[in-house]
Amino acid sequence: MLTLSITVGRDKILRTLQYFSRFYAWYLYRTNNPPAAIAPFTAIKTQFGLTRKVMRVGKFVEHFKAASELYDARAKIRANGGDQVVQYLQILRQLGYGLYMTFDMLTVLDAAGIKKSAHAKNLQQQAYKAWFVGLLASAIAGLYSNYQLMQRAKTIDEKDGEGKVEGKKIERYDTCFGR
């Protein structure tokens, strides 16, 4: 099982099992099953959620490193006449995710029941806000890129050989993303 040897693969498997357990516990509850039948799936959901949280400890470094590399690449993109809006949105996304992972990491001991903290709830709320910023930056970058692509498609001359190739690239992009 190659997937289990990769952290991302393990997280996806655990997330799938966690969310299935959440759904199945809800289903059992809605169909009036006894609490004894629901309890194992609630425990799986809780324990896999905690396991995933522990596995994310230290992951914030990767996001901050990616943000730093994107920030350092600004001058190169500017020199090549590239669009920096997406670049800044990617930096913001990485910073949002990095802050999310940082705040989330600070709540691990509380979530595991090792050392309760009065600040854990506030830290988790800050983590969710940072996660939202990362998601929002990613969504805006996607919308902006799509807008840029549509603008570029309007300027293509299909009669020209290069224009026809460019049009096919844009068409392929549109079909890949279901547009």
Task: Tell me which of 5 and 51 has the higher pLDDT.
Answer: 51
Region 130-159: what's the mean pLDDT? Answer: 88
Q: What confidence tier does 161 reach under pLDDT thresholds 50, 70, 90?
A: low
Q: Does pLDDT of 54 surpass 80?
A: yes
Residue type for position 134: G
Sign (positive/negative) of CA torsion 124, 130, 134, 135? positive
Nearest to 134 by CA among 95, 105, 101: 95
The enclosing H or E element of 165 equals: helix 161-176
Nearest to 90 by CA among 151, 152, 139, 131: 139
Measure the CA–CA gap between 74 and 64, rounded to whole angstroms: 16
Region 136-152: what's the mean pLDDT? Answer: 91
Residue reference for tokens 């809800």: 26
Helix (H, G, I), strand (E, B) or coil at 159: coil
Q: What confidence tier does 103 reach under pLDDT thresholds 50, 70, 90?
A: very high
Tokens for 123? 């830290």
> How high is the mean pLDDT of the chain?
88
Region 153-168: what's the mean pLDDT? Answer: 69
The per-residue pLDDT for 122 is 97
The structural domains of the chain, with segments of one domain joined by +, span 1-55, 57-179
